[in-house]
Structures are given as structure tokens and as C-alpha cells.
Structure 1
Amino acid sequence: MTTTRPSDLDTALAGLEATGARPRAGGTDLTACLAHGVLAPGPVVDLTGVPTLRGIDWRKDGSARVGALTSVHELSADPRLREAYPALARTAGALATPQIRGAATLGGNLLQRNRCWYLRNPAFDCFQTGGDSCPAREGDHLLGVVVDQGPCVAPHPSTVAVALVAYDAVAEIAGDGTGDGAGTRERPVAELYDATDPARDHVLDPSQVLVAVSLPAPTPGERAAYLRATGRSRAEWPLVEATVRLACADGGEGPVESAAVAVGGVARTPLRLPEVENALVGALPGAEPDAAVDEALEGLADLCSPLPGTRYKVPLLRDTVRAGVEQALGFARA
């Protein structure tokens, strides 16, 4: 397996186009895919030598542009990010282990492959390995989707994407398959994922590179929470996860003026929950969510179309979101 390490983005793009190489950032997912036979050995373009993919830039309005090679640890630990985007920092700080957060990158987390055990077992073929079916749909899908969006039933794997979708973040993408640089384009992070194509976990072409993610200007008075339900307490993939953002009046102490609630682990794409968001407007910090919020939470069952083995995720989704909302509001049950 040959590896090149270009020092600028145009050279990296040209290498990806000319050789059919795979891009590598932190390498945490690529290494696992090679080890499990998900990917065959082949040429690699190591992006870590491209300095323009690193770092956090702050704009005059207080908004941030985060380079794709920024580590997940930096997302959780950078003091200014923690203050401006608390939901992102909390979400990033809860995934994987400290060692993985130190090596894994923003771009790698957003564009990683799913964790379906059929995909990662070379004894099986599926849509993502050139097959024409999803063996998990009729097989063991205990960790699968509860919102059935398309042929593949593996939940999207990016925890960071859940938080970025809650912020309406925008991805900056370079490359158009011509190998000549061709500038960059933007698209919402939510549009990096398309459940209708079972062969892919994201929409980027192999010759494209995620350059950065832009976040909107911070929201004054934001209260935030991140919660995940897992099968064990340490280093486990979430069964359900929820990121909650509440913009409250009076510096965070007054009523909720707007809300963003995003969930993962339940569908092929990260999902926003607009009914819950709307019901939260007017909620008071420190108080128990009212009947309108309860009704919206109970209504999440109507969003679900569970597989036989994922019916347990219907109440788990409701209760995880409820706990995240209560945590963001600062309401503690007796």
C-alpha cells in the first residue's frame, strides 16, 4: 500500500483523482476498515500534511470555521468553542475514548463508515460491498434503525454530525472529480447524508475532500445537553443519542425562545425533531417540561417504523430525548 503526503490541497486532490487513492486523516476508521476487510489495500493520500485543513478561525460576527483535520478532542476542549458552541463541545467530549478523540478528526468522524457487523464481516455481501441486499434487514439488526428511511438499515455512525445538524452547520467541500482543484463549494452538513443510496454512508465522491465546517454566530443564552443510551458504560456506540440546544432569554435564565433537537443512532441520517423543538418554545429553565413537550415526545413513536429487533428503540428514543431536554433545562427529578 503506497502512501503520499502532499503539502497542499490541490496536490492532494490531484493525487486522489489520478490514482483512485483513499484520503486519510486521523486514520482511526480507515485502519479498522482495512483490518476487517471492508476495504482492500490500496494507495492512500495522507491529508495530515495539508496545513490549510487544520485549525479554528473566528470571524468578526463570532462565528467559527473549523478545519476538517481538527481533532475531536479539540472540539471538546477548546475554551472558546466550549463557550460559543456548548452543545458541540459536550457531544464531542462524550464519544469514544480519550485516545481516539485525540487521533480522530472532525472530517473523519463525519465521513466514517457505518458499524454494521455484516459490513465488517468478509463472509457477507451487502449493498456497501457490491451486493444487492441488506442482510441485516432480515438478519440480526439489534443495533439497526428505528426510523426506516431506505434499503440499508445501519444507523449513520457520526456523533459529531448530530451536533452539527443541530447547529445548521455548513460543510466546505473541495474537488469535483476533475483533479484541477476547481475551488470549493458549500452544502449543509445535513445534506452530506442520503438514506436513499444504500451503497454509501455519505454523498462525497472519493476524489472530494471535506475542507472545513462553518458554524453560525453563537446564540446568546444557549443552554445545551448531550445524552446517549448505550449497552455498556465505556467506549460504546450509542443505541440512541440526542443533542439539545435551547436559546433562552435573559442570558439563559428566561424562557426558551428557540430550540434545536437532533438525534442519532436511529436512522441512516441524523434527524432533527421539529415537533419537539416547537413545543419547547416558552419552557422555563429549572421547571419540568409542560404537557405540550410531553405530547411531542410521545409523538415520536409516530416517526418510528421499527424493525422486529429494534422495537425497543421506540421508548428509548423518547426517554433519551426527554432526559436530554430536562438536562438542558436544568430540571432535576426528585
Structure 2
Amino acid sequence: MTATTRPEGLDEALTRLDGTGARPRAGGTDLTACLSSGVLEPAPVVDLSGVAELRGAEWRPDGSVRLGALTGVGELSADARLADAYPALALTARELATPQVRNAATLGGNLLQRNRCWYLRNPAFDCFQTGGDSCPARGGDHLYGVVVDQGPCVAPHPSSLAVALLAYDASVLVAGGDRAERAVADLYDAADPTRDHVLEPGQVLVSVTLPVPVPGERAAYRRATGRSRAEWPLVEAVARLSLADGDSGPVASAAVAVGGVARTPLRLPRVEAALVGTRPGSPLDAGVERALEGLAGLCSPLPATGYKVDLLCATVRDVLERALDVPRA
């Protein structure tokens, strides 16, 4: 039986994690799966559910918000104030998994979960993340692998919430050693194939901070999956648009991010730049069309992931048309 402790404060939790080999547990949805599949060996568990500092939303006078890492995905999807201020995040949270999983999973757990590569999840194989010196998926069955090849491991990063938070230029607070604020993008390093995030053992993700919201923001989220329910995305995209002239003019700024295609979530700066000046309700103009065509140039598909090139372009197009309210034929 694995020993479990339940500290009441963050300092106590950090002490129990420091150099002990214990693992933190938030909602436990991914930790339980990793233990049952043999990805992780049994070890003491530090249950973070009693740490109040990791819970809840702290709204600031300027309208920005700090979200505790233990905030539930279900809470994110149902919070009307959050949906009004950060619609892309709420839309993304609503599409995750099933209601049962959303009610158990947490914001921090989603950001720090392990990838879904079937070689990692099968104890019969060794890979970079289990002490091996290779990626068996690269030369094996990688049908759901990356199409933007960033490094030795070819498993796409699994966090949908990271895609939305990347589009918001959100930051995270990490405790353990020194407390440090870092950009969400800096949680991930494609050059290191041995792990899915950069946190060291004993560190804890405390909170996520989103910047001051944009009034009247238009947003859309779209995922392409192999089946209609409870499926990991093959490609996903999120778009945020702000309009000039009090929400009646053309696009003044844009943020577009994608997931399911690389070892890290990605922003699409050329698509973002092309969207500026676009008018809602009108077909995508020539500049945006060229930027969408250029997405193929970002791709370096594996032998079995070439289908994701067209899927990426189509998914980004879909999310842009939804955010812009482009009429459908």
C-alpha cells in the first residue's frame, strides 16, 4: 500500500516532497493512470487537496485573475465571470474529456500531465522518459505523433489548457526552492525528451495568472478528434480577437495557438499578424489565406503523420471563421 499524507499548508507540502521521492497528487486522474499502467513505480504520495493556497480564483482590481492550481477544470468551464473575461479558456475547458473527468481534474494537473504515447504507457518498452536512450515511436507506430518535429521525442504535448493559456500570455507561479513566476510557455522544453514539463521533483505549481482581460474579446476553440466523445485531440486550435472602435471595427489584435502537433503548444505569429485589419462577418482575406497556406511550411511530418498537415490548416481555418463569424455555406 502506497503511503499518502495530506498536508494542510504549502510549506508543509514542500517539506514532505523535498528529497523524499514522494509525488504530489492533485485531482489524481493522470497519476492514477500512470501508476496502473506501470509508467510510474509506487512511491509515497503527498495529497495536495487540503492546501488552501492552491485553490480558488483571486480577482484583482484591474480585472485580472489568479487561479489556484487545484482549481477544477469543471469550475473553469462553468464560471460565468471567467467565461466573460477569458472566453477562450472557458471554451477550451468545456471541451475536455467527460463531465466526470472535468469534475476531478485540476488546472495544474492538466498543465503537468504526462503524454499519451502508447510506448510510454506500455511497461514492455523503454523510452527517453522511462530511462531509455531512444524514442521507439519515432521508428514505430506514431500515427498520433507530432507533425512539427521539435526534438527527440515525438509525442505531442497533451495539455489543452496550456494551448489556451499560451494564447493569453499567462504566467505560472512555481514553489520549491525559490518561488518563481514564469511564462506558461516556459513550462515546456521540447529539447529535453525525458519529461513533459520542466518542474523538478519537489516543485509545485501554485497558481496561474492571466493578464487584464480585453473587453468584448471574440474567441473560439476547436479540436479535431478521431471520434466524437472523450477523445484526445489530433489537432486543436484556439483564437482570441479584439476589435477596434468599440468592438465594431476590424481586428486590432489576435492570438492564435495550436496543440496536438508538437512537443509543446505553439503560437502562430504569422497568422496572428495577418488577422489584423480583418473585418468580422466577411470571408478570410488574401493575407489570412496566405498565412494559412504557410502553415504547411512549419510542418516536418513523420511518415505516418502527414495527414496532420491538412488537418492543422483546416482546424485553424475553422477556429478563425468561428471567431470572426464568417458565414457558412
TM-score by length of 1: 0.97
One-letter amino acid of the counterpart of residue 292, structure 2: L
Match of 1:204 in 2: 199
- Structure 2 Cα separation of the partners of residues 294 and 68 of structure 1: 38
Q: Give the SS at the match of 1:90.
A: helix
Deviation at 1:286, TM superposition (A): 1.0
1:320 aligns with 2:321: no
Whole-Å separation in 2 of the counterparts to 1:297 and 1:206: 40
3-state secondary structure, aligned to 1:211: strand
1:232-260 alpha-carbon deviations (Å, 9 max, x no partner): 00000000000000011244332100000
Work out which of the residue numbers 254, 261, 264 in structure 2 matches 1:259: 254
1:48 equivalent in structure 2: 49
Paired residue type of 1:246: L
* 1:97 and 2:98 are equivalent in the alignment: yes
| Map of 2:294 onto structure 1 | 299
Match of 1:224 in 2: 219
List runs of 5+ in structure 1 lacking aligned partners. 177-181
Report SS of the residue matched to 2:304: helix
Q: For each residue in 1:152-196, what CA deviation from the matched residue of structure 2 results, as whole angstroms up to 9, or x when unmatched?
A: 0000000000000000000000012xxxxx4x2100001100000
**Cα separation, 1, equivalents of 2:87 and 2:78:** 10
User: CA separation in 2, counterparts of 1:116 and 1:53?
Assistant: 29
Name the SS for the 1:19 alignment partner: coil
Q: Distance in 1 between matches of 2:136 and 2:26?
A: 30
1:174 match: 175
Conserved 8 A contact 1:261-1:273: yes
CA 1:221–1:250 in 2, change beyond 3 Å: closer, same or farther?
farther
After superposition, the CA RMSD in angstroms is 0.7
Q: State the SS of the aligned residue for 1:308.
A: coil
Cα deviation for residue 220 of structure 1 reads 1.6
What corresponds to 1:189 in structure 2? 184
How far is 1:124 from its partner? 0.5
> Partners in 2 of 1:160 and 1:172 — Cα distance?
16
> Shift of residue 308 of structure 1?
0.4
Spell out structure 1 runs of 4+ moving beyond 6 A.
Answer: none
Q: Cα deviations across residues 189-246 of structure 1 (Å, max 9, x unaligned)?
A: 0110000000000000010000000000001221000000000000000000000000
**1:292 aligned partner, one-letter code:** G
Q: Distance in 1 between matches of 2:137 and 2:272?
A: 32
Q: Distance in 1 between matches of 2:43 and 2:109?
A: 18
Aligned to 1:117: 118
One-letter amino acid of the structure 2 residue matched with residue 149 of structure 1: Q
Aligned residues: 328
Offset from partner CA, 1:254-309 (integer Å, 9 cap, x none): 21000000000000000000000000001111111101000000000000000000
SS in 2 for 1:186: strand
Which residue of structure 1 lines up, in the alignment, with residue 82 of structure 2? Answer: 81
Counterpart for residue 285 of structure 1: 280
Aligned partners of 1:253 and 1:136: how far apart in 2? Answer: 49
Report matched runs for 1:224-243 at 5 Å.
224-243=219-238
Structure-2 residue corresponding to 1:128:
129
Cα distance between partner residues in 1 of 2:172 and 2:51: 18
1:221, 1:250 within 8 Å by CA — same for their partners in 2? no
Distance, in Å, in 1 between the alignment partners of 2:327 and 2:202 is 49
- Which amino acid is the alignment partner of residue 63 of structure 1? S
> 2: CA distance between counterparts of 1:41 and 1:333?
52
User: Match for 1:41: what amino acid?
Assistant: P
TM (norm. structure 2) is 0.99
2:53 paired with 1:58: no
Q: Is the 1:221–1:253 contact (alpha carbons within 8 Å) kept by the matching residues of 2?
A: no
Following the alignment from structure 1 to structure 2, what is the Cα–Cα distance between the partners of residues 137 and 93?
Answer: 32
CA distance in 2, matches of 1:298, 1:106: 34
* Equivalence for 2:244: 249
- Give me the whole-angstrom Cα distance separating, in 1, the residues matched to 2:8 and 2:247: 44
Partner SS state of residue 224, structure 1: strand
2:38 aligns with 37
Residue ranges of structure 2 left out of the alignment (5+ in a row): none
CA contact (8 A) 1:221 1:249 kept: no
2:11 is aligned with 1:6 = no
